[in-house]
Amino acid sequence: MTNWHALSQQFPADRFSLTEADRQLHAQDQSSHAAHLPDAVVWPVTTAEVSAILRWASDQRVPVVGWGAGSSLEGNPIPVQGGLVVDFGRMNGMTAVYDQDFQVVVQPGILYKDMNKSLAQYGLFFAPDPGANASIGGMIANNAAGSRTVKYGATRDNVLALEVVLASGEIIRTGSRSVKQSAGYDLTHLFTGSEGTLGLITEATLKLAPLPQHFSAVVAAFPSTKHAAEAVFGIMGSGLGPAALELLDETSIGVLCSDGDFDFAIAPNLFMEFHGASEASLGEELLLVEEICRDCGAIRYQTGLGVESRNKLWEARHRLFEVFIRRFPGHAWLLTDVAVPISQYPVLVAYTSEQIERLGLACGIIGHAGDGNMHTAAFFPREDTTGWQRGQELNDLVVAKAIALGGTCTGEHGVGIGKQKYMVQEHGEAAVQLMRQIKATFDPLNILNPGKVV
Ligand SMILES: Cc1cc2nc3c(=O)[nH]c(=O)nc-3n(C[C@H](O)[C@H](O)[C@H](O)COP(=O)(O)OP(=O)(O)OC[C@H]3O[C@@H](n4cnc5c(N)ncnc54)[C@H](O)[C@@H]3O)c2cc1C
């Protein structure tokens, strides 16, 4: 019998809960994977408290699942074996800003949009930007990425050091504030992307970037997704460095336009942003972008969008998933998240379009195209079991194609529940076995987010 009383005694009443309502709020992320209730929820405010929680959980053999904003898309924080959810929402401070080094030290529960608002006064920002207002702990645990990854990298490329509490309750520090590090095994980046299965992150030192001074947004429409994907390869292959390069197919643009006052051509579109050291260098870059888009058959090309239009463009892009859900009320959805080398992007997109048509799915293709990342969003009535099967078939086919093209089954959403079945396909049995051994070394009692990743 779990001794919840011993744990609850260590927290004030408003920071430990066994109530149905709090458990429901921590049973499901933003995916369609089945919800599962935890037995209890706790809100620590210090690393010492997290350490005490894990010592208690090891002693009691209770599963422990970290929780940031619950915005995952693969079931990553769903407590599939019940146990305790550790919600980091109240460990949300900014501990130090080293503006001259372009670095910040934060607690894991801080939301990245809030953090960036505070950092604007230093002229700095944290570049990885998943559409949802995710927590930094959740972004590190999932190795989240976003539309700016094409220029600034994913979360992994922007984490320098961590403080982590291990399953035993021991507190360790990894990495340093030096941007060059070569001292032994890279534990910082082992924890990054480990989805809370190896330890709980209690502090992170992040790399920041200066806010761009000169920028321009561009929107280009194409006669087909194939043409748009070829333009993506043309832009990236010519050595241009977009700060964002997003593909939205005709279905996605149609859904977006049905929800707001947008003037997009109802056709596959590329949303882009370019940053320059000066207006002149930016202008030169934009001329080349236009030439490539026109060569790839662009039917409409808009550039030089001002700050307001640029903000509206990115807000629309970030709201797309939410708009899809509104467009298909009461439907279930299945998202794909694969990535391939950029030269293979047109092949992947053409193949995916064919399969969507063959399977007769209501499905959009959306992607952080500049880094070879592609999503499909398939929607079907919950009672339509063939819809779910067709969605799964699409997922299996697109993952197999991405892996065959030299890519991966997940570019950014992580393994969670949905991608576990592809791990051996992608990495091979021996490599997955090594991952299982790593997991067992860090977490011999298998209490940290059990049932995930491997
Ligand atoms: C509309 C929408 C758009 C999205 N767009 C993108 C996108 O463009 N790119 C992208 O990458 N993702 C995207 N996502 C998915 C999601 O936002 C990211 O995966 C994000 O990193 C999740 O962060 P979170 O704070 O919500 O974490 P949660 O979902 O709460 O948790 C994520 C994982 O981290 C673990 N965890 C949480 N905190 C800690 C901690 N302190 N220590 C250890 N483990 C911890 C959890 O156990 C879980 O395994 C999107 C989601 C939505 C809803």
> With a 6 A CB cut-off, is 193 part of the ligand 1 pocket?
no
CATH at residue 13 = 3.30.43.10
Average confidence score pLDDT of the chain: 95
Last residue of a domain, one of 387, 404, 421: 404
- Average pLDDT for residues 38-61, to the nearest whole number? 98
| Residue at 170 is within a domain | yes
Q: Are residues 229 and 345 in the same domain?
A: yes
Q: What's the pLDDT score for residue 330? A: 87
Residue with CA at minimum distance from ligand 1 atom 19: 72
Give percent of the chain with pLDDT exceeding 70: 100
Query: Whole-angstrom Cα distance, residue 270 to residue 231?
Result: 9
> With a 6 A CB cut-off, is 67 part of the ligand 1 pocket?
yes
pLDDT > 90? residue 385 = no
Q: Are residues 28 and 162 in the same domain?
A: no
Q: What's the pLDDT score for residue 262? A: 86
Tell how many helices (H) and how many strands (E) occur in the chain: 15, 18
Q: Are residues 233 and 259 in the same domain?
A: yes
- pLDDT tens-digit map of 313-328: 998 998 899 999 999 9
Q: What's the pLDDT score for residue 131? A: 85
- pLDDT tens-digit map of 53-81: 999 999 999 999 999 999 999 999 999 99
Least confident of 144-153, 170-179, 273-282: 273-282
- Residue 260 pLDDT level (bands cut at 50, 70, 90): confident
- Average pLDDT for residues 427-435, to the nearest whole number? 98
DSSP for 169-228?
Answer: S-EEEEE-S-S---SSS-HHHHHTTSTTSS-EEEEEEEE-EEPPSEEEEEEEE-SSHHHH
Q: Are residues 226 and 360 in the same domain?
A: yes
> With a 6 A CB cut-off, is 141 part of the ligand 1 pocket?
yes
- pLDDT tens-digit map of 76-131: 999 999 999 999 999 999 999 999 999 999 999 999 999 999 999 999 999 999 98
pLDDT > 90? residue 209 = yes
Report pTM. 0.96
- Residue 249 pLDDT level (bands cut at 50, 70, 90): very high
- pLDDT tens-digit map of 391-410: 999 999 999 999 999 999 99
- pLDDT tens-digit map of 335-354: 999 999 999 999 999 999 99
> With a 6 A CB cut-off, is 163 part of the ligand 1 pocket?
no
Query: Whole-angstrom Cα distance, residue 273 to residue 259?
Result: 23
Q: Are residues 47 and 194 in the same domain?
A: no
Query: Whole-angstrom Cα distance, residue 160 to residue 104?
Result: 10
Last residue of a domain, one of 61, 89, 117: 89
Residues contacting 187, CB < 8 A, separation 6+: 162, 172, 174, 175
CATH at residue 373 = 3.40.462.10
Boundaries of domain holding 364: 214-404
Number of domains, the chain: 3
- Residue 289 pLDDT level (bands cut at 50, 70, 90): very high
Q: What's the pLDDT score for residue 306? A: 76
Distance 412 CA to ligand 1 centre (A): 9
Q: For residue 199, give the ligand 1 atom closest to its CA.
A: 43
Side chain identity at residue 250, one-letter code: E
> With a 6 A CB cut-off, is 321 part of the ligand 1 pocket?
yes
Q: What's the pLDDT score for residue 174? A: 98
